[in-house]
Amino acid sequence: MPPPRTAEDLRRLLVRLDGRGYKAYKEIAGVYRFPHFTLFIDHVQGDPFAAPSRVRVRVPQSHAGFPPETYQTPSRAVGVENYLARRFAAIARATDRQRGTGSSGRIDIDAPGQEVLRRTAITLTAEWVEARFTVGLPARGRTILGHQAVELLLQDVPHVVRQALFYRAHDPGVVRRHAEVNEDADWLRAQLAHRGLVAFVADGAILPRRSGVDDRPLQEGIVVPFESPPSLRVSFHLPNGGPIEGMGIPQGVTLIVGGGYHGKSTLLRAIERGVYNHCPDDGREFVVTVPDAVKIRAEDGRAVACVNISPFIDNLPFGQSTRRFSTPNASGSTSQAANIMEALEVGTSLLLIDEDTSATNFMIRDHRMQELIAKEHEPITPFIDKVRQLYTELGVSTILVIGGSGDYFDVADTVIAMQAYRPWEATQRAKEIAAHYATGRHAEGGKHFGDITPRAPDPRSVDPSKGRREVRVKVHGTRVIQFGQETIDLNAVEQIVHPAQTRAIAAALVYARQRYMDGRRPLRHVLELVMRDVEAKGLDVLDPRLVGDLAAFRPHELAAALNRLRSLVMRPVESET
């Protein structure tokens, strides 16, 4: 490998390239030593309208100067990395100058949202801090603007690096807060199971968001800080933040009830996002949920591949079996049943369900309907008759938002009523109502929940190729993956929160297919092997190009993407049922 060149070498090369055709930019790929950092030009775009060039900057700690307490634990390092990525993005935006055609002159980094995730954009270690970002190399048409490229790479990039990646450019208190809040949130989540809880919502938390497309905390109008009912209040002592109190949601079956627009779904949404940490001042920093919680909803039209949905749907007309159920176009109830069974197959201790996004006939079958349509003519066993079995037999808790069916009072352990965004515990009152007003309905769930049948994916059905390309995968936002010739629709997978996660999931599908799918290995084992590699080797194991736009994901969302691949073929692994 040739020795690194200097910044002056890069300046002379760019001046020499001025006026030449754009493809001549390829000559600048390589490594360059600057006075206080190293610049890696890993990939040079072939056209001013193509994806921008990928570059990295690595600053040794002898110059970056971040103290050990900012990276001494993984939690602290991730918190600071996310802060640095936000700062880098803000400074780059302020530095941007249009220098020609297309994206010429732009500096971009994959900026985080409100959730704090391990990402490839910024890495902070005891040895160095590294940023991966893109630059649009300047051109007019397809002619190189060499002098403008000098300004971009030798003036603007060093300016952003100095302001974003050197500790002395930051308020030490702000850096420390990002480290400590993230560490405290991880610690708090780890305490839930020990305390018999599935979620915790801190007093003072701000749960409402600005809009459906703006996940920042609501600041205008009436904003009601969260306050726990006294009967559900629990306390912890955070490693850094000290004493904290809030509402602990116990294991079992919990209902969130109340009138429309009183905050039921807002609370559930915060709990759903509590599988991730949040940045300081988000309002949900200390809203935490067990890490394997899965949001479930109906999903009309999704494909289902060989899922055993018999615990919920059985006895179909003409003797059709639902133990190996497949369809290219599931109904609302069938899709919701499949979503639950797939979550159980991967492994979860908490299901999150909102009746607003559920199939009514899946959630409840009341006494009058039972009288009209006998059970032997109704294939669907409603969730109300399975929710307790999930907990007593499998240890799987459920939190449900319920606004229209008091029948669920009979199966609930805890009832939280929301009134003008303020919760109060209504468990005793709900039990009294249930005792006074009997529903008259008959339980239809049988004696046991039923079987969860593991499945093995057929690698031939997971084909990322298109045309002459062995791997052709593209991601559109958080909700669509173009996987070979197939389109994976993730609109109903609500716990994907950033496009970088979707990109990592797409890469992980290819990785899993190439490394671990053999047609016999159960899906859960495939996922465990992929996640083991990511944990041991980092997200770079999924893409050897050292890209800066990947973020950590959970096995549950990786499985959800695979399960929505319409070409997917699965084989039941009955021996492991």
Q: What is the 3-state secondary structure (H, E, C) of 104-142?
A: CCCEECCCCCCEECCECCEEECCCEEEEEEEECCCEECC
Alpha carbons 356 and 189: distance in angstroms, whole number: 28
At 102 the pLDDT is 77
Q: Largest alpha-carbon pair distance within the chain? A: 88
Alpha carbons 420 and 208: distance in angstroms, whole number: 12
Alpha carbons 431 and 527: distance in angstroms, whole number: 41
DSSP structural state of residue 224 = -
At 237 the pLDDT is 98
Give how far Cα 567 sits from Cα of 335, 455, 469, 487, Å: 17, 15, 18, 10
Backbone angles phi, psi at 436, to 5 degrees: -80, -40
DSSP annotation string for 133-191:
EEE---EETTEE-HHHHHHIIIIIHHHHHHHHH-GGGS-HHHHHHHHHHHHHHHHHHHH
Q: Interhelix angle for 523-537 vs 499-515, to 10°?
A: 110
Alpha carbons 285 and 203: distance in angstroms, whole number: 11
Read off the tokens for 275.
């599988």
Helix and strand counts by DSSP (H, E) for the chain? 15, 30
State pTM to two decimals: 0.96
Read off the tokens for 235.
């306390």
Other CB atoms within 10 Å distance of the CB of residue 25? 25
At 575 the pLDDT is 52
Give how far Cα 169 sits from Cα of 80, 88, 165, Å: 14, 12, 8
Q: H-helix or E-strand containing 355?
A: none
Read off the tokens for 212.
């459906």
At 6 the pLDDT is 97
Q: How far is CA 273 from the centre of its chain?
A: 8
Split the chain (577 residues) into runs of 10 and give each run's mean pLDDT: 85 97 96 97 92 97 98 98 98 88 89 98 98 96 94 97 98 98 98 98 96 91 94 98 98 96 96 98 98 98 97 85 94 97 98 97 93 90 97 98 94 97 97 94 93 98 94 96 98 98 98 97 98 98 96 98 98 69
For the chain, domain boundaries: 5-170, 294-436, 455-576
Q: Interhelix angle for 332-346 vs 555-563, to 10°?
A: 140
At 577 the pLDDT is 38
CB 379 within 8 A of CB 313: yes
Q: How far is CA 416 from the centre of its chain?
A: 26
Q: H-helix or E-strand containing 58?
A: strand 53-60
Per DSSP, the three-state class of 290 is coil
Residue in this structure with the two tokens 């020609």, named with its chain if needed: 100
Length of the chain measured in residues? 577
At 103 the pLDDT is 80
Closest-CA residue to 445 (of 514, 391, 522): 391
Closest-CA residue to 82 (of 54, 58, 110, 59): 110
At 1 the pLDDT is 56
Alpha carbons 118 and 102: distance in angstroms, whole number: 31
Other CB atoms within 10 Å distance of the CB of residue 33? 16
Task: For CA atoms 424, 425, 430, 432, give the dihedral sign.
Answer: negative
Read off the tokens for 10.
């890069």
Read off the tokens for 262.
């009183």
